[in-house]
Chains A and B, each alone.
Chain A
Amino acid sequence: MTTINPACRALTLALGALVLGIAFAAATSASEAPKPKAQDWSFQGLFGTFDRAAQQRGFQVYKEVCSGCHSLNQVAYRNLAALGYNEDQIKAIAATVEMQGGPNDEGEMFIRKGKPFDKFKNPFPNENAARAANNGAYPPDLSVITKAKPHGSDYLYALLTNYKEKPPESYWVDNDGKPIPPAKRKWPEGMFYNAAFTGGAIAMVPPLAAEAVAYQDGTKATVAQMAKDVTTFLAWAAEPELEERKSMGRKVILFLLALTALMYALKRKIWADLH
């Protein structure tokens, strides 16, 4: 019987566990729609951080475009400090919206300006109002949207940049894969074609058109640029802890590596007198 070096065996074990984990992760995501094209994100990888300028531009896109239909319920104005805004700027941003306050001493509700501690204002008073304004479809809350979709950031970018005038020929096939003749083709009322959306027909009006916003830093507001910026902003909204998490993670892993090496040396030493 050959004895395998314990370090070797431990490594095999760790690798085995890793492979198993990855196999299972792959197994759980196997059933999803086609994978969106991977983009380069400032916040990916072990050392990723949010690109501050992109975040601020993305916030502008959200505020001027998306916030007309989509809420951002989990985020408060005070959280914008993470984007580099100072207290006065945040106060000013919050003050641009009107919130219901009260009741006051007389028991009456009143309208007040937004405050930093308020959560982002919801564009609609309730879901029914949102549906009524959007052809019956409900624009989802965007607070955790990049975590709620497989390949979240890549998907969001793909969604915003894949609106097409009309679906390609290959779209018009029935369940058995046979082509549908042009006479029988029916496009659903009030829907738009988007190649990244499951099923192709989406109720969201193409939200971005070139120069839809005027960037203050002079960046050219192409659709791709705005999509990239707003995705960076929403990725931050979904994972505001990302930068702290990664920097703490690096330290924790380094510490554990040192500790484990020490344990291994000790183990060798203690077991040495046995063999």
Chain B
Amino acid sequence: MTAPSEPPQASSTDGKPGIIEQAKDWIDYRMPIFTFMEHELNEYPTPKNLNYWWNFGSLAGIVLVILIVTGIVLAMNYTPHVDHAFDSVERIMRDVNYGWLIRYVHMNGASMFFLVVYIHIFRGLYFGSFKPPRELLWWLGIVILLLMMMTAFMGYVLPWGQMSFWGATVITNLFSAIPWIGDAIVTWLWGGFAVDNPTLQRFYSLHYLLPFVIVGVIFLHLWALHVHGSNNPLGIDRESAKDSIPFHPYYTIKDLFGLGVFLIFFMGIVFFAPNALGEPENYLPANPLQTPAEIVPEWYLLPYYAILRSVPDIAIPFTGIVLMKAKLAGVIAMFGSILILFALPWLDFSPVRSARFRPITKQLFWVFVVVCIVLGKVGANPPNLAVFSGIEGFKYIHLGQIATTYYFAYFLVLMPLLAKFEPTRPLPQSISEPVLRDRDESGE
């Protein structure tokens, strides 16, 4: 941020500047906020070859804004008390003007937020956006993911339906797996000896707070981004001015088009299938005396839930000595499945960023995507249910164990091996080059 070198009076060319121009210059001279915005949003040089997978970052930002705006309106009408929460949400749906719209946008907006961010993360994985010099940018992204998960989990508790209550009970109980101090931690989290009114009230307070913490981390995320700029589908650095175009108007219009496509999808769900992504059971008021047949989280948390339930007791073979109980091991695996993302810059140390030039990485990446979806399916089903109705012996727990093994092996084994041994295809000289080279080849 550098202050403009000339005093404000000199910035106008045709006689007297307009009052708005004058005000702008006055402010900019003292705090160059307009210069900053011009630099970061308008001129900001961007690789010319970004594809549509690069739309999902700005989409995530827009969804967050939508969530915050609808959330603030919901908060004006919501009552965080175990006796009133469920009814207050129904009152929003029935008696508040367009309350049903606001709630359905908020509720499905949370799903959209995760959908968009997951695609954004897979994009980073495929094109190697976590590699130098973007490690910090990647880590900040994972921090955002963790904050999102906490926010969404606590938000889901607020309507105080059956899944709200039992989801909160199951997830908070995970902390009891921590040796010695686990139970004390759980009591501390609950603010009592069960999930009850104090729990609901603190979750509400945190649910209001955390989105703004996310905004703060996003600011850092963008700051880090703007130092070296976006990665690109070729994964090579920009060499000359020819490789870049200004963000505005090229990517503003491309992002707007992407936003339109996304909104059609999002609004289609909000208006025509608003409850399709949710668990029906959450429309039954919370009842601490009646456990639902199946306690399942929302779809975006299912893969982690599957990993949690896939891990057995860790024992020394043939001795029966249990080193670690399945519950603690499962909790460690579940948190590990996200924390492992922090280590990616070291696990995949290949200098080639983009999977386009890494034939084996490319295949294994798509296997990984499928494995994540399979984990989601596993998380939605009882562990002891047979996967295929013909084959009784093969249960969801087995499928979950296979998928969990691949999940970790992909990062811990395959990535380092590939980084060392995979033969990569030759990289183009510059971003502008492949276009030219393609022409040469086709001319032969």
When the two chains form the complex, which single residue of B48, B267, B277, B373 contacts A28, counting CB atoms closer than 8 Å? B277
A241 part of interface (Cβ distance < 8 Å):
yes
Chain A residues with CB under 8 Å of B284's CB are 140, 148
B56-99 at interface with A (beta carbon < 8 Å)? 87, 90-91, 93-94
B283 part of interface (Cβ distance < 8 Å):
yes
Whether A150 lies near B280 (C-beta < 8 A) is yes
Q: How far is the CB of A224 from chain B (nearest CB, A)?
A: 24
Report how far A141 CA is from B48 CA in the complex, Å. Answer: 59
Mark contacts of A262-274 with chain B using CB atoms, 8 A cut-off: 1 yes-contact digit, 0 otherwise.
0110110011001
Chain B residues with CB under 8 Å of A1's CB are 434, 438
Whether A270 lies near B253 (C-beta < 8 A) is yes
When the two chains form the complex, which single residue of B264, B294, B299 contacts A31, counting CB atoms closer than 8 Å? B294
B132 part of interface (Cβ distance < 8 Å):
no
Whether A148 lies near B280 (C-beta < 8 A) is yes
B336 part of interface (Cβ distance < 8 Å):
no
B412-441 at interface with A (beta carbon < 8 Å)? 434, 438
Report how far A259 CA is from B263 CA in the complex, Å. Answer: 11
A55-100 at interface with B (beta carbon < 8 Å)? 73-74, 79
- A141 (CB) vs chain B CBs: closest residue: B285
A1-32 at interface with B (beta carbon < 8 Å)? 1, 6, 9-10, 13-14, 17-18, 20-21, 23-25, 27-31
- Chain B residues within 8 Å of chain A by Cβ, number: 59
Report how far A18 CA is from B263 CA in the complex, Å. Answer: 12
Instruction: Given A9-B51, A143-B90, decide whether A148 and B283 contact each other with a Cβ distance below 8 A.
Output: yes
B366 part of interface (Cβ distance < 8 Å):
no
Instruction: Given A6-B52, A10-B258, A148-B284, decide whether A246 and B90 contact each other with a Cβ distance below 8 A.
Output: no
Whether A149 lies near B280 (C-beta < 8 A) is yes
Report how far A250 CA is from B293 CA in the complex, Å. Answer: 37
B269 part of interface (Cβ distance < 8 Å):
yes
Mark contacts of B278-312 with chain A using CB atoms, 8 A cut-off: 1 yes-contact digit, 0 otherwise.
01110111000000011010110010000000000
Chain B residues with CB under 8 Å of A14's CB are 261, 264-265
Chain A residues with CB under 8 Å of B100's CB are 241, 245
B180 part of interface (Cβ distance < 8 Å):
no
Report how far A30 CA is from B270 CA in the complex, Å. Answer: 22
Whether B299 lies near A241 (C-beta < 8 A) is no
Whether B275 lies near A25 (C-beta < 8 A) is no
When the two chains form the complex, which single residue of B250, B263, B293, B376 contacts A27, counting CB atoms closer than 8 Å? B376
Q: Is the interface of A mostly helix, strand, loop or mixed?
A: helix
B37 part of interface (Cβ distance < 8 Å):
no
Chain B residues with CB under 8 Å of A257's CB are 264
When the two chains form the complex, which single residue of A17, A27, A46, A249 contacts B299, counting CB atoms closer than 8 Å? A27
When the two chains form the complex, which single residue of A25, A30, A74, A267 contacts B381, counting CB atoms closer than 8 Å? A30
Whether A147 lies near B283 (C-beta < 8 A) is yes
B212 part of interface (Cβ distance < 8 Å):
no
Whether A31 lies near B385 (C-beta < 8 A) is yes
Whether A74 lies near B90 (C-beta < 8 A) is yes
Instruction: Given A10-B261, A31-B385, decide whether A25 and B115 contact each other with a Cβ distance below 8 A.
Output: no
Report how far A143 CA is from B100 CA in the complex, Å. Answer: 15
Instruction: Given A30-B381, A248-B271, A256-B264, decide whether A267 and B277 contact each other with a Cβ distance below 8 A.
Output: no
A183 part of interface (Cβ distance < 8 Å):
no
- A11 (CB) vs chain B CBs: closest residue: B261
Chain A residues with CB under 8 Å of B115's CB are 17, 20-21
Mark contacts of A109-146 with chain B using CB atoms, 8 A cut-off: 1 yes-contact digit, 0 otherwise.
00000000000000000000000000000001101100
Chain A residues with CB under 8 Å of B296's CB are 28, 31
B221-279 at interface with A (beta carbon < 8 Å)? 245, 249-250, 253-254, 256-265, 267-272, 274-277, 279
B380 part of interface (Cβ distance < 8 Å):
yes
Report how far A27 CA is from B279 CA in the complex, Å. Answer: 11
Instruction: Given A23-B373, A148-B284, A252-B267, decide whether A13 and B52 contact each other with a Cβ distance below 8 A.
Output: yes
A216-275 at interface with B (beta carbon < 8 Å)? 238, 240-241, 245-246, 248-250, 252-253, 256-257, 259-260, 263-264, 266-267, 270-271, 274
A167 part of interface (Cβ distance < 8 Å):
no
Whether B299 lies near A252 (C-beta < 8 A) is no
When the two chains form the complex, which single residue of B90, B263, B279, B293 contacts A144, counting CB atoms closer than 8 Å? B90
- B274 (CB) vs chain A CBs: closest residue: A245
A36 part of interface (Cβ distance < 8 Å):
no
Taking A9-B52, A148-B280, A266-B257 as given, write out 5 further A-B residue pairs in contact, using a Cβ cutoff of 8 Å, ordered by the A residue number.
Answer: A24-B277, A74-B90, A260-B264, A264-B257, A267-B253
Listed A/B pairs (30) with beta-carbon separation below 8 Å: A6-B52, A17-B262, A21-B115, A25-B276, A25-B299, A27-B299, A27-B302, A28-B277, A28-B380, A30-B377, A30-B381, A74-B87, A74-B91, A147-B283, A148-B281, A148-B283, A245-B271, A246-B272, A250-B271, A252-B267, A252-B271, A253-B268, A253-B271, A256-B264, A263-B253, A263-B257, A263-B259, A266-B256, A271-B253, A274-B48
The 9 closest A-B pairs by CB, nearest first: A249-B271, A260-B260, A148-B283, A263-B257, A241-B100, A24-B299, A147-B283, A27-B377, A144-B283
